[in-house]
Every structure is written in C-alpha cells, then in structure tokens.
Structure 1
C-alpha cells in the first residue's frame, strides 16, 4: 500500500498572517458589531503572558549562575556597550525622522491637562525590588530583573549551586513548553484583535493621524529591515537574507499581537538556529543567548523609543513644533521614562515640551496599529543585541573599522533616500490648509435648550429705572441677558450668524427653568455696571471676571468656573513667555479687554510692561488694523478658542516656573448691586445646575471642544453597502 501524503499545513507565521487578514476583513464587513472580539483577544494575550514573568526569573538565575566571575564581567561590559550603541544609533534615526512632516498650521481647544498636576514615574519602585513578589505582581520588570541578576550573580561564587541552577533550568524548560502549547490558540487572539481594531477605529481617526502613521511606519521599517539587520551583517558573518529568514516567525508573531513578551522563546530559538547555521553554536554562545536576551528585554528597546516620534508629531499637529534645541533633551528623557509604560512616558514627554497631555489620546487611538510596527523593531533589536553579544564576546570582530565604515555608509545612504522620499510623498498627499476655524465657528446651542425657550426678536437697549426682580421677569415673560460681542468661547456669533457660546447656553437654560423667553442685549465692558443699574438688561453673562473694583458697583453671583491667565502670542513666542519671570525683563506692549484690576497690579509689579485696552478681542487679530501689540492678555480657555480662528497664534499659559503655580481667576454672572432678589435666585440656580453636571457638560463642549466634531457610526459593509442592518 502506498502511504497517503500529508496535506499542506501552514506554518505558525502563515497562520498568523491569515488570521490577521481574516480579522481585518471581518472588522470591515461587520464594523462596530464585532467590538466584543476585543475581549477574546485580550483573554488570549493574557494566557500568553502568564509564563513570562516566571520565565524571566528562572532563566536569568540559571543563565547567570552558570557563569564564572570573569565571564560575567566580560558579558555585562560588552553586551552593555552593544545595547548603548544601538540606543544611540536608533535615537539619531528617530530624531531625524520629523523632517518628513510637511508644513502645516493648526490649533486646538483648551485642555484641562494644561493645568493639572502631572503623574510622575516612581523610578525607585520601578528599579528597586523591595519586595520581588510585589514587583512581579505589579509588572515592574526592571525591579524583577535586578533581583534575578543579583541572585544569579550571587550563585556564581556559591559552591553547591548546581541543584538550584538545575531546578531553575528545569522550570524554564517547563514554562517554555506551556508557552508552546498556548501558542496554538494564538491565531484566535490575532483574529479577534484584528477584527476589533478594523471594526471600531473610525476613518476620521485614521485621517487625522495619517502623517504620523506614514512617518512612523517608515521609521519602523527603516530600523527593523535596514538599520538593525545592516548592523548584524556588518559586524558578524551572517547574511542579510538569513537574518530576516530566521527572525520571520518572531516578527510575524510580534506584528500580529503587538506583544513582545510572548516572542521571547521564539527569539531565543531562532537566534540559536542562526548561530548553528554558521557554526557559531558553542556552549558559551548559546549560554549568552539565554542570559543576554531576558536582560536586554527589560531595557527600553528601539521599538519603545520610536514612540518619541509622536512627541514631535503632536507639536506639529497643533502648530507648536518642538524646538530643535529640545531634541536631545526629548531623546534622553524618552530613553529614561520608557523604562516604564509608554502610556506614562508619552504624557510625561508631552509636558516636558509644553504640549497638552491630552494629545496622548491620539497616541492611544493609534497605539493598536503603531504597536504592531514598533513590535517589529523590538524583535529585531532583541535579536541584534543577543546575536551581536554572542558573536562578539565569544568570537570577536574581524576588521572592526571596515565593518563600522560599511554599516555607517549603508545606513546613512538608505536613511536619506527613505526619509527624503517620504517627505516628498507627504507634501503631495497632505493638504497644508487645515481649517480649524470651522470647528468652533460651526458650534451651536443644543436644540433641547432652544426648544424650551425662545430668543425674542427685539434687541433694544431700553432703560428701566427699577431693577427687575424675579417676579418682574416672570410677569414680563422675558429674561434680558447682557453679553459682550466676540467674546469667544463665551458669547460670539457662529458661522450661521447665531449668537452662541458657553454663557449663551447657560442663559437659555436659566430662562427655560424660569419658564420665560430670553433677550440678548450687547454691552461694552467699561459700561457693564452702569448698564445694569440703568436696567438695560437683568444679568451680565459673558465670561465676566470677578473683579474687586467692580464689586463696588455690581453684585456677583457665586463662581461659575475658574479660568487661567495667559498671553496670546505668535506661535514662535509661546515658550518664551510661558514663564512669568521672563516678563520682568521683557519690554512688551500688551493688549487687554477686561482684567482692569489685574492690570493695575501688574503695572506696579512689571513697570517695564505697557498695557492698552481694546473694545473687542477681534481688534488684536484683525489684519485690517495693524498694531504694535506684542501679546493679548486673556484666559487660556479663550486664547485656545481664538487660536482656532487664527492658528498662527498660540497660548502661553502664565506660570511661575520656580513654584509651578498658575495664575487663575474666577468668573461669574453680574447683576445690579441693589437687585438682591435676582441674585439669590441665580445663586441657588447655579448650585442646582452644578449638581446636575450641566455646567461641566457645557464646559466640556465649549471650552474643551468635546463633541465639536459630530460623531458618526463606524462605516461597515453590512450596514452601509448591503443595508442589512440600520446604523
């Protein structure tokens, strides 16, 4: 009888690719209906992770414990030098990559992250294993590694160490077998996570990140398939094709899952196979693979360091590019902070260059995709460190100067060609005229508010010798609200020529709760107190600062919110004027619309500054009326809103850098000083709507821009093409 031929079975790498492609197709077809698959994907990844921490522990103990003192010293010095060299080369490539960004002017809404205290990395807890079991439980890998290295080094000089080392080696082998068993279900996790990402990430999110995505992909491909392989082939006898062939399984696994933990056993085996192919598989070389790989894993790899590119993108994206002088600082800070989680490092790095930390949300949105590409870099980085250490420590380098020259020449030529080509492509693909003004100009009052109460058509400034009590307002059927024209984002006219803004929304809500209509009456800032006394309107609601001088003439309600003082200046001047101490030396002409009491105090404190009062904020920005003002004093919240209309301006949040103290002020509503009845009502009303969260809701919309861009359901074939389900 003839033996039946076995059917074709795809390799693990091929299975991963098939699972990923099927997952993407499923996500595109079903859209948000497959969002639940993220749970399945996370479950599979957690199963893969369960052996990693114990594996690091036992593999390091057994690998280092087998060494003698002289070998251990040589390994740490040479492997450490190799790792440092790779960091330096990788950082240079990362810091050069922003040249691919095309020219663009942009701006953003205010973010509360500008004024919130920043989370700090607890480096002591991250690195020092006061309790090794706690370090393992909390995922503090550097601390766990330090403990494992310490125990492994201690075992080097222990006489009866074989029993412990054999136990650790056996445990490592057992953990490796568990991993190999779980790997069989890994394609299920790859399929689930791919479907979740393809089904839930919106087209708009991808479009807003296209510059970062393209530049980042190019950076990762350049490092993973050019720079690092060239380093290996230049300093070792390995051929480029063999390096990629042997690393393919780990690369595909990492790309499919975005998880480097689960690739460690694969990287270990593939590194040993490459050594074996070139007859470099001595016992010492294989032992170095076992020791160096887990140690290298605990340090920031180039995959992590590539996320530094996002910091430069974030500055470019909002029109505040990071200064070239700050590049080295960002690189060094990134290297140190990335010993921890990238989700802690990114906000930290954003703060270090005075960028809003909530830009981290863009990074989180892109992290599922970018994580796949930086995983490629991480795998190749680990293989490079491991193989270079094994070859150089055991066998040395043949003609090191020639190898270094070859590597530098090929890497520089390839990098220049790739990055220059990417810049040319992006210049063609990206529209430089990003219209941010349409965001805030298109904002409007909720229909639920305008439907409850209506704006009256007569905007007449009619004097009333008697102030209007609550009963008078109810009898008249109209609440008269005073407002300042063009006081973005509190009271301004949108693209439909309708009066909108945070205070306008509050006015509609107050009128609705009173059960009356609303009438809006414009006023000039210097005439507000007199207009209230004359009865032209009942309440002034237009981001009014609670001013000690004004308190003599009007009655303020309870604080509506607190705003932060800032200067609006041309983009290139933002960092220069963010520190109040700089203002003591500068000679500036500053424009303002309100804040008279604050100006009086500043004049005494900063005699070198001059101040000019404007009637309207538009006068500062208007190109038709040239002026010699260096800055506009306003709130940061308003400044960011104005920057959406005029993206070539930025906001310098005033801060005492020595103490970190911000300069803030309260805003409230104002009524006639003698109108105690209406004052009491509005105070109680403010307590009520604050408790309901209405003011926070309006703050999020008008100040932070949440919801300014309409959210649409995710496009999918089943809904938008076939029409089988409703959106």
Structure 2
C-alpha cells in the first residue's frame, strides 16, 4: 500500500495528504495543532532554492538568446505580454468587489496604533547592492538585476560567455533537482498544515475560505473562457469558437495534470494549426511560434498572476482590506516577485501590505486545488500571446477603433456580470460572524466587594453636601464613594444585567478591596466634576478621565493610569479617508463631534478649516444618533474599538498626525491623604501586574470569551478525552 502511494503522481499525493490531514484534524482536534510547526519547516525548505534559482535561470535564459530573437521578443511579444499582464492585474484588482460584505468588529489591538513602516521603493526595485537585495528578499530588485545581466550577456561573444551560460544552466539544473527532491516531502507539509488547520480553525474561518476558492475559480474561468478568447476574436481573423476549440486539448491536459510544461509542444502545434487554417502561416512564422512559446513559458503568465487574489482575500479575511492606494505597488511588486516561486512571492506580498505571515498556510493548503485552475489560465495566456504575436508578425492584427470598442465592451460586460453575480451569490450564503456586542455586554468585574450603584445625578445646591473625606474618614465610614460617567465604554458602563462594569469600575473595586471597605458608585457630569468633589458627593472620580489643563487648579489628578491614543470613529465605508491627511483636507460638508480635548480641537480647527467641529455631551450621542447629524467623532482608539463592538457598522482610523493623552483619577484638591494613597497604590498594582490583567481583559478582550475546545470526533463523538 505504501509503495503504491509513493508511485502516485505528486499532485495525487498532495490531494490524499490534504484529505487525510483534514480527517486527522477533525478526529483529534486541537491536540494536533503542533503539526503546524512541521508544515512551516517544509515550506521554509521549499523556499530554500527559489531566490538563487531566479538569479541563474533568468541570467542564463535571457543570455542564451540571439540578438534578433531577443529584439523580437522584447519588442513585439514583450509589448503584447505587458498589455495582457496589465489587463489581468486590473481584473484581479476588481475581483475583491465580489467578496461579500461582512460586518465585524474587534477589541482594541496594539498593532492598530503601531506606525506602519514606509516602503522603500528604491531598495525594492533598484538593486544598488544585489547581495543586500538577495539577503533582504527584495525579489523585484533581484529580477531587475538578473534581467540586466542576461541582456548584457546577449551582446557578448566567445568562450567566456559560453562558460557562464554553462555554469548558469548547470546551477539551474542543480536547483531544479533539489526542488524536485523537496517536492517529495511537500505532501508531508500539506498533511501537517491541513491537520493543524482542521483541528484549530473555527467553522467561520472554514466558511470564509469558500470566498477565496469560489472567487479564484471564477476568476480563472473568466480569463480562460471569456476575456482571453474574446481578445483573439476581436483582434484577429480567428473566431471565438475556434480559439476555444483549437486549444481544448492543451487545456484539458493542463487541468488534469496541473503541469504546463508538458503541453508546450501541444500549444505550439495548436498555434500553427489555427494560423494555417487562415492561410497566415509562413516558414518564418512557424519558427517564431516554435521559439516564442518556450521562451514565454519562462516569464510570469496570467495563471500565475491570479495568485495575487489571495493577498486581497487575506486582507478581507483578516478584517484589514488592502487599501486602494496600495494596489499599484502590490500589482507591480507581485508581478516581479512572480518571476520566481509563489512560495516566496506570497509571503513577500503579505509582508508588503502588512498582513500576518501565518495566513500563507491557507494559501499552501489550497494551492494544489487552485493550481489546476491557474494552469488552464496559463495555457490560454501562452496560446493568446503566441497567436497575437504571430498575427502582428504576419500583419493581420486588426487594431481598428470598432474592433477595440467591441473588445472593450465584451470584456467589460463579462467582468461586471461576473462580479455582480458572485457578490449576490456569496452574499446569500456567507454571513457575518457572531456579533461581538454580546461579549462586551456580558463582561463582569472579577473582584467582588459589597457594591451600591446610584443612577441619579447629585445636584449642586439641592443634594446635601458632605465634608471632604480623607483616607482615615473613608475607612471609618467603611465605604469608598467613587464618581463615574455612565455609558463611558469601556471605562464605566452597564452590562446586559444592569451591573456597572468597565476598566475603571474594576480598578475601583480593587481599590475598595485593598482599603477593606464597601464601594458606592455615584454618577457625575464632567463639567461639574471639581464642584462635585468639593461638595463631597464622592471621594474620587474613576471613569476614563482625560487630564484637563483647565481643571488642574480646581482638583488634583493622581498619576496617569493609562496613556490613550487619539483616533477617529466613523462609518466603515469612509474610515480609510480619515487615515490620510491629504484626504481629510479635501473633505467637504463633514461634521466632527467631540466630547473632550478642547485644546487639541482648537489646533485641529486651524489645521482643517474645511471641517466643522461640534461638542457633544457623551459618545453615546454620536453612536446612537438616529439621523446623520455627525460624520465622525474624536475618541481614543481604546474606547472607540469598544464602541464598535456594540456598533459594528463603525470603524476606527488612526490619523497620520497621531496624538496621545493621559487619563487619570481625580480627587478634591484638599484631599492630599487620599491622593498620596492612590498614587502609591497605582504603583504597586502596576508592578504586581494586577492593572495589566484588568487592562488586558477590558481593553484587549483577553479572557472575555470562554475558549471552548475545537469540536473533534475523539472528544465530542467518542468521548475518549475530556
């Protein structure tokens, strides 16, 4: 049995490895999650020879060309190839429009405020130091260097050139042999990654993979059976039906085997046959076809370019779609990186658009399935490129305006119908994951002390005032009175059962527990904070208070408990516009709400005179607005993220001009003993990690949901393990 498996084709072995891996993952569940390390090791081994192979294969492949052949290829065929690449890249960039809209939100993540490293395009594309480019993995720069060396070799003569070409050919063969050997262990990596994914990925994540697979299959079919044949039918005497029927044999073979190389002779004969049918085949034309197909095979084909769609899917899957401004650089860099292996190109492109590298495992798992579809797109690309070049050579390529219009209309209709159909179809069956508002709305304060929560605001002049209670008076009274702001997510708010919860509510409970007293929460309005403290309505205010310089002479702030990052909350569909300073300056009729940060708002008014700023009493007035009175609100990234859990239709933008501000607890100016205690208490709780645990729970959502073991046969069906 084992001998029979090893005698199978590698594609069959990979298919078996995938299904066996899925079976193992479903059976054993999370206990096989460690297999991902084996999968990663195999992928890293597969990448071992790729970069040097690009170098020697391009130099040797271009360098051995005759000058006349190189001129022909890089002028006529090169121009047609470039145009086909641009068309394919445009179609690929449009395909994400077919992804279904998924409304989602998440807790605050520190990665959202980390500055994004600017792309050094000079290093990316210009090999000023080729060795540095290779060491840093700058694939586009390596390709440019390799092409330059190959072109230089064309103009050389003599034994030295032949020695270099022989060395390049021999080295290329060495790398090919290594790769063929490594392919034998690739099924092991696919098995390991499939088992790990099936054992650890949730149902929602598996469902999301359908989006990539369906859109990818449709993209390849659209290119193969509509766009590319339509170009041939529009620009040459060959009809649409002839283009499809004559290439049928090579398409079927490529799909069945997943191998393009073996159908090169078939493509050559198909191209000769179709040109002969139209009496357009000369002896020189036949020679052109025989030379062009194998040389074009060494360049990235449209089938290979389609894998760029995975990067767009990875952004959608990760909840951080690829920005429109990044598409040109992604397309160019992706094209150049695909001169080599996809095993280097995909991680490179993921890193380029700042997406997690571990998403690459999803690509590898699906690679041999999608490979059959990109094989047919690659074959049709070679066929169309050769036919168009031959037609240009025989002067029967028709570039009249009516034909170009016909081609454009046909391609446009096909793309629009495909995207609309996919968007509607996938939208009906692929739904948003469970809304996370249920998570934050059910969170609870862990430290339990006798607690009383008042909801009625005390009124100055009406509510009886009390003497300011110092630390000794609080202990004698047996109750710590804490001021809070209602609906101040995630610092102080009511959960689903009406309990007052939040980061500062939890901190206040811990403070009361350490003082060995009960706790009583009293609501207050921010503009009356100092007067409320002086009136003794409460002892300390703990509710995400931004330190206000205008209040510092009226009350005392403790040491800052947190430093928050200023952000903008707005509707998902316009959130990216607030990330770029130039886009903000171009906005018109935009109203920005704010609750605090008056000094920052005054600076913003000067910087953005095109925006209208309106002060509101609370953040709930923005998120719960019934009419579109405000377009955005100034808020901290931490609080804004928490609000988007309740209102997933909103998102958070970190502007280019970033700003941080401290939040602190406040006591009456004369209450020095309580202030000293709180300052020392905060230092202690920061050092012992208690404050970090509260922060991780309320701000980052760590431990907010009960992580249940992944469903598995061994646990949930057979009950062999707990």
- Cα distance in 2 between the residues matched to 1:233 and 1:498: 65
Give the number of aligned pairs.
Answer: 676
* Structure-2 residue corresponding to 1:18: 16
Residue 563 of structure 1 pairs with residue 564 of structure 2: yes
SS at match of 2:670: coil
After superposition, the Cα gap between the structure-2 partners of 1:432 and 1:200, relative to the gap in structure 1 and judged at 3 Å, is closer
* Structure-2 residue corresponding to 1:67: 65
> How far did 1:686 drift?
2.4
Q: Deviations over 1:239-279 (max 9, x none)?
A: 4443333334774xxxxxxxxxxxxxx54455356547877
> How far did 1:22 drift?
1.2
* Structure-1 residue corresponding to 2:178: 178
Is the 8 Å Cα contact of residues 271 and 387 (structure 1) preserved in structure 2?
no
> How far did 1:63 drift?
1.7
The equivalences for 1:445-524 within 5 A come to: 445=445, 447=446, 449-450=447-448, 453-456=449-452, 463-469=465-471, 471-524=472-525
* Structure-2 residue corresponding to 1:255: none
Is the 8 Å Cα contact of residues 486 and 492 (structure 1) preserved in structure 2?
yes
The equivalences for 1:127-138 within 5 A come to: 127-138=125-136
Is the 8 Å Cα contact of residues 88 and 305 (structure 2) preserved in structure 1?
no
The equivalences for 1:294-693 within 5 A come to: 294-296=298-300, 301-305=305-309, 307-308=311-312, 329=325, 331-336=327-332, 338=334, 367=363, 400-401=397-398, 415=415, 418-430=418-430, 435-445=435-445, 447=446, 449-450=447-448, 453-456=449-452, 463-469=465-471, 471-566=472-567, 568-569=569-570, 574=575, 592-595=594-597, 614-622=616-624, 632-649=633-650, 651=652, 655=655, 660-693=656-689
Q: Deviations over 1:185-219 (max 9, x none)?
A: 33222222221222221224335xx3xx4443232
The match for 1:85 among 63, 83, 86 is 83
SS at match of 1:30: helix
The match for 1:271 among 248, 264, 277 is 264
Q: Deviations over 1:353-406 (max 9, x none)?
A: xxxx78x69967865556666656665565555565566657867864599999
Is the 8 Å Cα contact of residues 246 and 271 (structure 1) preserved in structure 2?
no
* Structure-2 residue corresponding to 1:724: 720
Q: Deviations over 1:570-609 (max 9, x none)?
A: 5566566667785899677765544455567778888998
Is the 8 Å Cα contact of residues 121 and 337 (structure 1) preserved in structure 2?
no
Is the 8 Å Cα contact of residues 557 and 669 (structure 1) preserved in structure 2?
yes
Point out the more displaced range, 426-435 or 279-288: 279-288
Point out the more displaced range, 418-427 or 379-388: 379-388
After superposition, the Cα gap between the structure-2 partners of 1:691 and 1:348, relative to the gap in structure 1 and judged at 3 Å, is farther
Point out the more displaced range, 363-372 or 520-529: 363-372
- Cα distance in 2 between the residues matched to 1:637 and 1:718: 40
Q: Deviations over 1:142-163 (max 9, x none)?
A: 2333332222222222222222
Point out the more displaced range, 524-533 or 273-282: 273-282
- Cα distance in 1 between the residues matched to 2:186 and 2:227: 31
Is the 8 Å Cα contact of residues 485 and 492 (structure 1) preserved in structure 2?
yes
- Cα distance in 2 between the residues matched to 1:347 and 1:567: 26
> How far did 1:137 drift?
3.7
- Cα distance in 1 between the residues matched to 2:647 and 2:391: 62
Is the 8 Å Cα contact of residues 485 and 616 (structure 1) preserved in structure 2?
no
> How far did 1:520 drift?
1.6
> How far did 1:674 drift?
1.6
- Cα distance in 2 between the residues matched to 1:172 and 1:362: 30
- Cα distance in 2 between the residues matched to 1:607 and 1:412: 41
Is the 8 Å Cα contact of residues 288 and 386 (structure 1) preserved in structure 2?
no
- Cα distance in 2 between the residues matched to 1:137 and 1:615: 55
Is the 8 Å Cα contact of residues 593 and 613 (structure 2) preserved in structure 1?
yes
- Cα distance in 1 between the residues matched to 2:592 and 2:553: 26
Is the 8 Å Cα contact of residues 102 and 430 (structure 1) preserved in structure 2?
yes
TM-score normalised by the chain length of structure 2? 0.79
After superposition, the Cα gap between the structure-2 partners of 1:165 and 1:594, relative to the gap in structure 1 and judged at 3 Å, is closer
> How far did 1:37 drift?
2.2
* Structure-1 residue corresponding to 2:189: 189
- Cα distance in 1 between the residues matched to 2:47 and 2:661: 50
- Cα distance in 1 between the residues matched to 2:85 and 2:678: 61
After superposition, the Cα gap between the structure-2 partners of 1:577 and 1:276, relative to the gap in structure 1 and judged at 3 Å, is closer
- Cα distance in 2 between the residues matched to 1:613 and 1:627: 15
> How far did 1:524 drift?
1.7
SS at match of 1:296: coil
- Cα distance in 2 between the residues matched to 1:66 and 1:171: 15
> How far did 1:169 drift?
1.8
Is the 8 Å Cα contact of residues 453 and 522 (structure 2) preserved in structure 1?
no
Is the 8 Å Cα contact of residues 223 and 377 (structure 2) preserved in structure 1?
no
* Structure-1 residue corresponding to 2:276: none
After superposition, the Cα gap between the structure-2 partners of 1:701 and 1:75, relative to the gap in structure 1 and judged at 3 Å, is farther
> How far did 1:498 drift?
1.0
Point out the more displaced range, 632-641 or 98-107: 98-107
> How far did 1:487 drift?
1.0
The equivalences for 1:220-299 within 5 A come to: 220-228=216-224, 235=232, 239-248=246-255, 251=258, 267-271=260-264, 274-275=267-268, 291-296=295-300
> How far did 1:709 drift?
4.3
- Cα distance in 1 between the residues matched to 2:684 and 2:303: 53
* Structure-1 residue corresponding to 2:169: 169
> How far did 1:497 drift?
0.9
- Cα distance in 2 between the residues matched to 1:599 and 1:153: 58
Is the 8 Å Cα contact of residues 303 and 374 (structure 2) preserved in structure 1?
no
After superposition, the Cα gap between the structure-2 partners of 1:136 and 1:345, relative to the gap in structure 1 and judged at 3 Å, is closer
- Structure 2: 5+ residue runs without aligned partners? 233-242, 274-284, 338-344, 459-463
- Cα distance in 2 between the residues matched to 1:675 and 1:592: 31
Residue 201 of structure 1 pairs with residue 201 of structure 2: yes
Is the 8 Å Cα contact of residues 118 and 348 (structure 1) preserved in structure 2?
no
After superposition, the Cα gap between the structure-2 partners of 1:572 and 1:510, relative to the gap in structure 1 and judged at 3 Å, is same
* Structure-2 residue corresponding to 1:352: none
After superposition, the Cα gap between the structure-2 partners of 1:292 and 1:60, relative to the gap in structure 1 and judged at 3 Å, is farther
Point out the more displaced range, 563-572 or 504-513: 563-572
SS at match of 1:70: helix
Q: Deviations over 1:699-720 (max 9, x none)?
A: 4443344554442221111111
